[in-house]
Amino acid sequence: MISEISRIFDLIPHLEENYNFKEDLFARKRKDRWVKYSSSTYTYYADRLSSGFLSLGLKKGEMIATIIHNSPEFNFLDMGMMQIGVTHVPIYPTLSEKDILFILKDCKAKILIISNSDIYQHIKQILTEIESLMDVYSIETVSGIKSWREIVESGKKTFNRNLLQEEKKKITNDDIATIIYTSGTTGKPKGVMLSHQNIISNFLTVSQIPNFTSADKALSFLPLCHIYERMLNYMFQYMGVSIYYAESIEQISENIHEVKPAVFAAVPRLLEKIYEKIVMKGRTLSGLKKILFFNALHFAENWEFATRKTLIYKLKYVIYDRLIFKKWREALGNNVKMIASGGASLQPKVCRTFWAAKIKVMIGYGLTETSPVITVTDLSPKGFKFGTVGKVLKNTELKITDDGEIVCRGAGVMKGYWNRPDRNKEVFDNEGWFHTGDIGVLDNDGFLSITDRKKEVFKTSGGKYIAPQVIESKLVSSPFIEQALVVGENQKYPAALIVPNFEYLRSWCKMKEISYKTNGTAVHNNLIKNRLDREIEQINEILGQSEKIKRWAYLEHEWGVESGELSPTLKLRRKFIITKNIDIIRELYKTQG
């Protein structure tokens, strides 16, 4: 079966052969009902789109860009392009006009396909500046813009099965399947060239970890324009898992209860928010119920894969599972076999809590440049260790350099950056090792831990090296702190910008009968500030002397993608945040002690 998939679009005949009975290969919600698409519908649209693109004069190696939300149409278009060797360039809808313009010019996109009017309004001013662009199409109706169905209709008229088969034969597994522009935290976006083989090697290898069946459903809500969710979508197709596309981030909870998924992918912050809501729910209880809840939570936060468990331990677990953990599973649809977590580190206590409740959180590490998975935990008896990102994939080599950097090579590593030979020389060494830019440690059992980004480690004026992500992860482990950024390069001590967890803070204030009007007034309220200060002081106690945060400032606005502080993959854009808050930072160092 594995040998049949040599190019990504080979998934289509694979589905027809093995899962043609499925009526809900894909599903999305329209007007309060889930609309389902079968594998034969998938084949129909992919083939007609391929023919439609050919009728527009598109050739192998040319590029089509999309700015569309997660939907079955993403897959139809994706396969329609790849079957004729057209390169798919998916773009984050949240990127700035400037970045979108750069990408469209850099890849010389021939066609642009968007989701709706909102995206069109966001980009319409830049369209005339893209000389290569032949036309723009939209999934939803947009005044003055052609519908994507025009391409389908053109393909219906010109469809020739034999001709399409001849086009497919021209495509090898080493050909570029997609170019994904990394949003980055600094500088211009870089186009990562991923071949069919890069991505296939990743999803075939990762598919050996879970035990899904064709009866299972996945809920998809992370952006398909990012390789993380996209690779998983290919894996789900390979395994015959139905993919339901969530309406929006805001409606995830509702969609989970409707779909009852066996699996979904999430960034750590989402799982941490679920954990925080569990804690807040516990705070509303009283008497014996509250005592039982927090005893169960403490038990879960310290969960271990112990081989020998006492009778008392087992009895406690049965009680907590029936009375407490069961409700947590029900909140996630009561059918979750696994949650895939990646993109950043997940607090061990949060991970332990999910595992204790029989919700398996699989942790992975990788980059867009590696298709993306380099390491991942698995379900084998010795395949998981809390606080790590798992072991290296079977088809990948990994080592730690003398200065602590993680480097790798293997089938999933990109072909290189589009139009950037200078950057290729920077990230690939003479032996073909790809330099990730991350600092990490391999333990004796082969588990990898990520400690920081190489470029983000800074030195104080006293010559002490500081790894800010390590400190930041400890700060955000507090339920009172939503986001944190540590500064201090060439200064006497580290300082921090702190964004409180305003939802949790509001709940705490209500319980303590403290007036809470706005986020702005909250961060200036002495009672609230004293409580937040205690959290930071407790974290300082477990930090090394040179790592301790000497001064900090509370900000009244959460950092977000649209406001520029976060990349589309929710990573901190450090330089942007520092520049935006430079006056506050200068104030933190006015009287250095």
pLDDT at 2: 39
pLDDT at 36: 98
In this structure, are 324 and 364 located in the same domain? yes
122-128 long-range CB contacts below 8 Å, 24 or more apart?
122/93, 122/97, 123/67, 123/97, 125/97, 126/97, 126/100, 126/101
Can you point out the beta strands (E) in 209-346?
217-220, 242-245, 263-266, 338-341
In this structure, are 95 and 242 located in the same domain? yes
Smallest Cα–Cα separation from 123: which of 110, 113, 134, 108?
A: 113
Instruction: State how far the alpha carbon of 459 is from the alpha carbons of 63, 455, 463, in Å.
Output: 44, 11, 6
Neighbours of 39 (CB within 10 A): 24
In this structure, are 438 and 499 located in the same domain? no
Instruction: State how far the alpha carbon of 50 is from the alpha carbons of 15, 77, 168, 367, in Å.
Output: 18, 8, 10, 30
190, part of any domain = no
In this structure, are 515 and 567 located in the same domain? yes
What are the φ/ψ torsions at residue 33 (nearest 5 degrees)? -140, 150
543-546 long-range CB contacts below 8 Å, 24 or more apart?
543/471, 543/474, 546/460, 546/462, 546/464, 546/466, 546/494
pLDDT at 217: 98
Instruction: State the SS3 of 8-56.
Output: HHHHHHHHHHHCCCCCCCEEEEECCEEEEECHHHHHHHHHHHHHHHHHC
Cis peptide bond prior to 372, omega within 30° of 0: yes
CB 15 within 8 A of CB 24: no
CA–chain centroid gap for 242, Å, is 20
In this structure, are 256 and 270 located in the same domain? no
Cα-Cα-Cα-Cα dihedral of 318, 319, 323, 328, to 10°?
A: -50
200, part of any domain = no
pLDDT at 188: 84
Q: Tokens 């867009």, residue? A: 368
> Rounded to 5 degrees, what angle do the CA atoms 392, 398, 402 make?
135
**CA end-to-end distance (rounded Å), the chain:** 66
Choosing from 223, 245, 260, the residue where a domain stops is 260
> Rounded to 5 degrees, what angle do the CA atoms 182, 183, 186 make?
115
In this structure, are 396 and 425 located in the same domain? yes
What are the φ/ψ torsions at residue 481 (nearest 5 degrees)? -115, 125
pLDDT at 304: 87
In this structure, are 149 and 294 located in the same domain? no
In this structure, are 216 and 92 located in the same domain? yes
CA–chain centroid gap for 130, Å, is 30
DSSP assignment string, 179-239:
EEEE--SSSS-EEEEEEHHHHHHHHHHHTTS----TT-EEEE-S-TTSHHHHHHHHHHHHH
pTM comes to: 0.91
201, part of any domain = no
Choosing from 451, 472, 505, the residue where a domain stops is 451
Smallest Cα–Cα separation from 41: which of 138, 146, 152, 137?
A: 152
Structure tokens at 532: 């937040």
Smallest Cα–Cα separation from 434: which of 424, 443, 442, 444?
A: 424
Number of structural domains, the chain? 3
Q: Residue 73: is it exposed, middle or buried by C-beta count within 10 angstroms (0-12/13-18/19+)?
A: buried
Q: Tokens 């039982």, residue? A: 292
DSSP 321: I
Smallest Cα–Cα separation from 275: which of 341, 223, 228, 214?
A: 341
Q: Around 290, how many Cα atoms within 13 Å sit in the side-chain half-sphere?
A: 7
CATH at residue 447: 3.40.50.12780
In this structure, are 104 and 128 located in the same domain? yes
In this structure, are 391 and 297 located in the same domain? yes
DSSP assignment string, 395-463:
TEEEEE-TTSEEEEEETTS-SEETT-HHHHHHHB-TT--EEEEEEEEE-TTS-EEEEEEGGG-EE-TTS
Structure tokens at 449: 């831990």
Structural domain of 48: 2-171+207-260
Residues contacting residue 338 through CB under 8 Å, at least 6 positions apart: 210, 262, 263, 360, 361, 362
In this structure, are 256 and 354 located in the same domain? no
Neighbours of 461 (CB within 10 A): 12
Q: Tokens 């009975």, residue? A: 21
Instruction: State how far the alpha carbon of 329 is from the alpha carbons of 332, 350, 517, in Å.
Output: 5, 14, 34
CATH at residue 535: 3.30.300.30
185, part of any domain = no
528, part of any domain = yes
328, part of any domain = yes
What are the φ/ψ torsions at residue 58 (nearest 5 degrees)? -75, 145
Q: Print pLDDT tens along the chain (593 aa).
A: 434 899 999 999 999 999 999 999 999 999 899 999 999 999 999 999 999 999 999 999 999 999 999 999 999 999 999 999 999 999 999 898 999 999 999 999 999 999 999 999 999 999 999 999 999 999 999 999 999 999 999 999 999 999 999 999 999 999 999 999 986 555 789 999 999 999 999 999 999 999 999 999 999 999 999 999 999 999 999 999 999 999 988 899 999 999 999 999 999 988 998 998 899 899 889 999 999 999 999 999 999 886 677 899 899 999 999 999 999 999 999 999 999 998 778 899 999 999 999 999 999 999 999 999 999 999 887 899 999 999 999 999 999 999 999 999 999 999 999 999 999 999 999 999 999 999 999 999 999 999 888 889 999 999 999 999 989 999 998 999 999 999 999 999 999 999 999 999 999 999 899 999 999 999 999 999 999 999 999 999 999 999 999 999 999 999 998 898 998 878 899 999 999 999 999 999 986 55
In this structure, are 54 and 152 located in the same domain? yes
Choosing from 260, 280, 297, the residue where a domain stops is 260
Neighbours of 456 (CB within 10 A): 19
Q: Parallel, antiparallel, or unpaired: how do β-strands 495-500 and 391-392 relate?
A: unpaired
One-letter amino acid for residue 21 of the chain: F
113, part of any domain = yes
298, part of any domain = yes
One-letter amino acid for residue 352 of the chain: R
